[in-house]
Amino acid sequence: MSIPVKPTRQAHSLLDKHCSIFTSEIFAIYQAALIASKSKGKFCICTDSQSAIDAVKNFTNKSVLVTYVRDLLTKHANKMKLIELADSVAKSIHEEPDLCFDALEKADLKHLIKQYVHNKSLLKWNEYVHHYAAINPTRAKPIYTTNSKHSDILLFTRLRLGHTQITHDYLLNNGNGSCCICRTSRTSVKHILDACPQFTNTRRRMFDTALPSKLLTNITSSNISTISNFLITCNIAHLI
């Protein structure tokens, strides 16, 4: 007797919402194996999930559900076999009644916990008032291009983090935090790049009406070199 196994979208949606497609497939195979183990006769459990079959064959796979399936198939080797079912045949059982179970694999739990921690951290990050939080609101890991010079990447990174010599020098020299270039405004990365009057002509020539600080939000070789050229032209690269 053949037992076709193909969780439909409706059945998958009725499992725990954090279950992966793989968990749905392997759990369906497990339930079929349970039914076969408790029934008289010999059975073929048919699935179109190659990943599920590969997982069962791989004895290094320690997934709980995969282990359960493997144990049942081994214990009842004389009465049940797991075979791959052609996808066209598998699709024909979509109209069959759905059986729904409360299943959650270890990998699904790990993914759920990881996602929960990430969302909580992102929420706190969005509430954090800081220069870098505005530059990188999603907390994405910076990936720098290999064709950018190390010295340019260093300047770009320091500006993104907001930790530069020109913006923190007053902390070491008991200053009041005013810009050491124009002496008229409080120093910051945005002030140096976007507003310091000493660099107005250079800023207009290179960026027109755009704000140089906007380039810090997008890590590209072009933005890295453009910011570096601006700092060098303004003769302040050594102060970053």
Lowest mean pLDDT among 13-17, 104-108, 133-137, 196-200: 13-17
Query: Over the stretch 89-138, which tens digit does the pLDDT of each residue have?
Result: 455 555 454 444 455 567 777 887 788 787 777 777 666 667 777 787 77
User: pLDDT at position 12, please?
Assistant: 47
Nearest to 59 by CA among 68, 51, 70, 48: 70
What's the rounded mean pLDDT across residues 163-188?
75
Domains (range + CATH), the chain: 2-109 (3.30.420), 140-239 (no CATH)
Pairing label, strands 80-84, 2-5: unpaired
User: pLDDT at position 175, please?
Assistant: 57
Q: Residue 189 CB: number of other CB atoms within 10 A?
A: 23
Which of 125-134, 183-192, 206-215 has the largest mean confidence? Answer: 206-215
pLDDT band, very low/low/confident/very high, at 8 (cuts 50, 70, 90)? very low
Query: Over the stretch 134-154, which tens digit does the pLDDT of each residue have?
Result: 787 777 788 887 888 999 999
* Confidence check: pLDDT of 81 > 80: yes
* Confidence check: pLDDT of 178 > 90: no
Residue 170 makes CB contacts below 8 A (sequence gap 6+) with 176, 177, 178, 180, 187
User: pLDDT at position 9, please?
Assistant: 46
Instruction: Name which residue leads in pLDDT, 50 or 108.
Output: 50
Share of the chain above pLDDT 90, in %: 23
* Confidence check: pLDDT of 188 > 90: no
* Confidence check: pLDDT of 170 > 80: no
* Confidence check: pLDDT of 58 > 70: yes
User: pLDDT at position 127, please?
Assistant: 67
Torsion of CA 28, 32, 34, 37, to 10 degrees: -160
> How high is the mean pLDDT of the chain?
79
Instruction: Please give the Cα distance from 57 to 70 (Å, whole number).
Output: 8
pLDDT band, very low/low/confident/very high, at 173 (cuts 50, 70, 90)? low
User: pLDDT at position 2, please?
Assistant: 53
Lowest mean pLDDT among 27-31, 120-124, 194-198: 120-124
Instruction: Name which residue leads in pLDDT, 173 or 32.
Output: 32
